[in-house]
Amino acid sequence: MNIHEYQAKEVLKSYGVKIQEGIVADSPEAALEAAKKLTADTGTSWYVLKAQIHAGGRGKGEIKETGSRGVVLAKSLEDVPEKAKDILNGTLVTIQTGEEGKLVKKILVAQDVYYPGNSEPKEYYLSILLDRATGSNIIMASTEGGVNIEEIAESTPEKIIKEWVDPMLGIQPYQARNVAFKLGLEGNAFKEMVKFIMALYAAYDASDASQFEINPVLKTSDDQILAVDAKVNLDDNALYRNKDLAAMRDLDEEDPFEVEAAESGLNYVKLDGNVGCMVNGAGLAMATMDMIKLSGGEPANFLDVGGGANAQTVEAGFRIILKDPKVKAILINVFGGIVRCDRIASGVVEAYKSIGDISVPIIVRLQGTNAEEGAKIIDESGLKVTSAITLKEAAEKVQNVLSA
């Protein structure tokens, strides 16, 4: 589960991570009040206004309606409402949103932290995530802050610092010092970075996160270390024990099909193809999508109805798939193990009748327990449903109906 920057910073601050202070606002008037409070609390006279959407590249992104960037600087209180108006309720298009963009409902009004001082401010990159290859958490850092880590990895991989942390032992102070040293820090900035890394790891571990990415981490002109941006991804499977974090979920930022599927107990991911897929089992679903592509088609979704599929889950799957206007055919691929094929076939027929007229052709491939009985139910239903024996045959039948 992703959360907004302002929420991520709240989590970080609660664990002692120093952040660029900010206040969320949902109107130009609220943005002005937020700026006034920031001046009173921090003394700042410049303000950074940041669109709050679940996507990166906001600073380089553009609001369709006004041409404003997703992150702008207001150099006075008077500038804040107008600049906020240019962002709020606009559609922000970034490299991660696609051309359709995302509606901006909130902005973060943040203090200016790039103030003059004894030294030049310097940006760094820092993230913590799980390294599945080693079963350890890994801290990744770089002196090239403000740049996508993918770009750094491709152009200057030697600038990526890696420190593996045993999740059973947790981070040790020497590991934080090692990272700070390799970043070239010294003096007070070195000490502050060590504290920053230790606190960041504590927040990552306690919140059951799958990823923390701070880009940039800023060394200010007076050697403070601050999180200027924050991307936090939480493990969905651990949200039951982090109810305060689960409450941060913003359903408006998620695909409505995926939200509806989750409410029905289905695992669904929307794709860009034209063949709807309904399968029991994640591995089988991946194989089904591969076979569709090998046969010349394009899967419209990943949909795993689970091992205990019944008429209700099949109907819910149908309804979600059919809401996608790109879907021109549906392939149901079920291996009967825990659930019998005849039960799935009956569920398909019941769901078909419950929904009413389904305009797209449906191909059903059943194998496993009571597969023959299931195929008979499909063939004798009188509905526009075609049965298949092998997965290859099913995929080819889908392609045939699409080409007809």
The per-residue pLDDT for range 87-136, each reduced to its tens digit, is 999 999 998 888 889 999 999 999 999 988 778 899 999 999 999 999 99
| Integer Cα distance of 11 and 306 in angstroms | 34
50 is in an annotated binding site: yes
The helix/strand/coil state of 396 is helix
Alpha carbon 69 to its chain centroid, in Å, reads 22
From 5, 144, 213, 315, the catalytic residue? 213
301 is in an annotated binding site: no
* Residue 68, pLDDT score: 95
How many other CB atoms are there within 10 angstroms of residue 300's CB atom? 25
62 is catalytic: no
From 6, 47, 125, 352, the catalytic residue? 125
57 is in an annotated binding site: yes
Scanning 15-78, the segments in alpha helix (DSSP H) are 28-42
Supply the DSSP symbol for 205: H
Q: Average the pLDDT over each of 71-85, 136-150, 190-204, 380-394 and give the range with the smallest value.
A: 380-394
Report the side by side order of strands in the sheet with 385-388.
Answer: 267-270, 301-304, 275-279, 329-336, 362-368, 385-388
Supply the DSSP symbol for 193: H
User: How does pLDDT run across 14-26, given as a tens digit for each residue?
Assistant: 999 999 999 999 9
| Integer Cα distance of 371 and 377 in angstroms | 10
Q: Average the pLDDT over each of 7-21, 57-71, 143-157, 229-243 and give the range with the smallest value.
A: 143-157
Residue 278 has pLDDT above 70, yes or no: yes
22 is in an annotated binding site: no
337 is in an annotated binding site: yes
For the residues 289-310, what does the mean pLDDT come to? 84
380 is catalytic: no
pTM of the model: 0.79
385 is in an annotated binding site: no
Chain-wide mean pLDDT for the chain? 90
For each of the domains in the chain, give its residue range(s) and CATH number, in order of start.
Answer: 21-111 (3.30.1490.20), 122-246 (3.30.470.20), 256-403 (3.40.50.261)
